[in-house]
Structures are given as structure tokens and as C-alpha cells.
């Protein structure tokens, strides 16, 4: 069944592609309300300006930091754009800061799906398949069913660990990728989240585990 063509749907498509309102309405109508198909239609017509800008060189930009929880968690992120003029603008600076804040909260491991190694994907497939086959509800189901379950799990995995696939923390109705496309449309430039580093106090260090009873015994002369 076709999705309704609402003003909100047209506005969202325009923000993602930079195409005109009428072009977006026409593409959504042709795609029966399916946004992904509408984007593809606009791209084929050369109207998705955000997509066209993605191939342009972005050598300017900004490095920003976000510190949270009283200095316990911090993020450094580099976001690139094409001109220093855009990099100095409030919209771009706010965008970069919001991305840093999102990374602090959502803990992505990668920026895009393409960065996930085959080794990591193979391990996720193995875990997902084992879990699916161990579920009594899936007993005696054919192999194609398990393949669909695994693919569904991988899709969820991408949403958990890839920055651009994650729901944006300040608006769960869009992804960080959607937010990025909105910034590309707003600035008229190629904008790219290039890299980030997330620090968490004590992460990776062995925590000292104390046995209070043993310590008390030792203080009382337990070595006698």
C-alpha cells in the first residue's frame, strides 16, 4: 500500500536531497511514498544536490571537543567542508558540536558501514546464526529463514555501531546520516565527518578488585 504524500514527507525529502519542493513531491508520488525510492528517482534525474556534492573536495572544517560527566567521557571529532567561510559559520559549528555530543552518548565504533571489516561482519553473522538456531521458536525452519534473520541482525548491528546509521540522540526520527545530508543542503557544500576519537576514563584498564574480608584478616594478623 502506498504511503501518504504529506507536507512533512516532502519537507524531509527536500532536506535530505536539496531538490525543489515540486520535484520532491513528484518523486514521492512516483515512488508511492517510499522515501528511499524517491531519493533514487531524484538522483537519476540529477536533482539530488546533496548526493552530487559528496564527490567534491572538502579540505576545510573544524575539530571540536565535547566533555561529559564531569570529565569522565570526552570526544574529539573532525568534520570537513569545502570553504573556511562555512567552517566559521554558526550552523556548521553547531552541527559539529552536536555530532560530538551524539558520539559521546551513542558510542559508535565506525563512521560508515563501509568501515566495518569482513572479519567483524563474519563474527556477527556467526553469533546471529547461532542465536537464531538456538531459539526454540525457529525449530525446523528452512535455511532461507535463518538467512533473513541474520541479515536483520546485521542491519540492527549497523544501526548500533555505525555513526551515520544511528538514530540521532536529539531527534530519534532521523539518523546522523540524515542530519549530515541536511547540513549539506543547508550549506551548499560537501560536508564529511572524517574521524573521531572517544575517551572514557579508565576504559581498557584493569580495575582493582578488593576482597574486604581478606584485607581485614590481613590487618588482624592473618599471616600468622
Which tens digit of pLDDT belongs to each residue from 29-61? 999 988 889 888 887 777 666 666 666 667 799
CATH topology of domain 60-113+162-200: Tetrahydropterin Synthase; Chain A (3.30.479)
Query: Domain ranges in the chain?
Result: 7-53, 60-113+162-200, 117-160
CA pair distance 121, 125, nearest whole angstrom: 6
The pLDDT of residue 219: 52
pLDDT > 70? residue 115: yes
| Residue 216 reports pLDDT greater than 70 | no
45 SS3 class: coil
Q: Report the percentage of the chain scoring pLDDT > 70.
A: 86
pLDDT for 224 beyond 50: no
User: Quick one: 7-53 is in which CATH superfamily?
Assistant: Ubiquitin-associated (UBA) domain (1.10.8.10)
Fold match between domain 7-53 and domain 60-113+162-200: no
Sorting pLDDT into bands at 50, 70 and 90, what band is 129?
confident
Pair 176, 102: CB distance under 8 Å? yes
Q: Would you say 102 and 169 are in contact if contact means Cβ atoms under 8 Å apart?
A: yes
Q: Which residues contact 91 (CB under 8 A, 6 or more apart)?
A: 183, 186, 187
Encode pLDDT of 160-206 as tens digits. Answer: 999 999 999 999 999 999 999 999 988 888 899 999 999 998 887 76
Averaged pLDDT score across all residues of the chain: 84
- DSSP labels for 70-82? GGTEEEEEEEEES
The three-state secondary structure class of 54 is coil
Q: Using CA atoms, how far apart are residues 42 and 10, in angstroms rounded to an integer?
A: 13
The 10 Å Cβ neighbour count of residue 49 is: 16
- Residue 2 has a pLDDT of 65
The DSSP result for 135-188, as a single string, is -GGGTT--HHHHHHHHHHHHHHHHHHHBGGGSEETTEEEEEHHHHHHHHHHHHT
- Quick one: which of 86, 126, 102 has its CA closest to 178? 102
Cβ–Cβ < 8 Å for 83, 191: no
Amino acid at each position: 500500500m502506498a504511503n501518504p504524500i504529506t507536507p512533512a514527507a516532502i519537507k524531509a525529502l527536500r532536506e535530505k536531497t536539496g531538490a525543489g519542493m515540486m520535484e520532491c513531491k513528484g518523486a514521492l508520488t512516483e515512488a508511492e511514498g517510499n522515501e528511499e525510492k524517491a531519493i533514487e528517482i531524484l538522483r537519476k534525474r540529477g536533482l539530488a544536490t546533496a548526493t552530487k556534492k559528496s564527490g567534491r573536495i572538502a579540505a576545510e572544517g573544524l575539530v571540536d571537543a565535547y566533555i561529559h560527566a564531569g570529565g569522565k567521557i570526552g570526544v574529539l571529532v573532525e568534520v570537513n567542508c569545502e570553504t573556511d567561510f562555512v567552517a566559521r559559520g554558526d550552523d556548521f559549528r553547531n552541527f559539529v558540536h552536536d555530532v560530538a555530543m551524539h558520539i559521546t552518548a551513542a558510542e559508535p565504533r565506525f563512521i560508515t558501514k563501509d568501515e566495518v571489516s569482513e572479519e567483524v561482519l563474519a563474527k556477527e553473522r556467526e553469533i546471529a546464526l547461532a542465536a537464531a538456531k538456538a531459539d526454540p521458536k525457529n525449530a525446523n525452519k528452512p535455511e532461507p529463514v535463518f538467512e533473513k534473520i541474520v541479515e536483520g541482525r546485521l542491519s540492527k548491528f549497523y544501526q548500533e555501531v555505525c555513526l551515520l546509521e544511528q538514530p540521532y540522540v536529539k531527534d530519534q526520527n532521523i539518523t546522523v546520516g540524515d542530519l549530515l545530508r541536511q547540513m549539506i543542503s543547508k550549506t551548499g557544500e560537501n560536508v564529511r565527518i572524517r574521524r573521531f576519537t572517544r575517551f572514557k576514563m579508565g576504559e581498557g584498564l584493569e580495575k582493582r578488585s578488593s576482597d574486604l574480608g581478606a584485607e581485614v584478616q590481613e590487618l588482624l594478623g592473618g599471616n600468622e
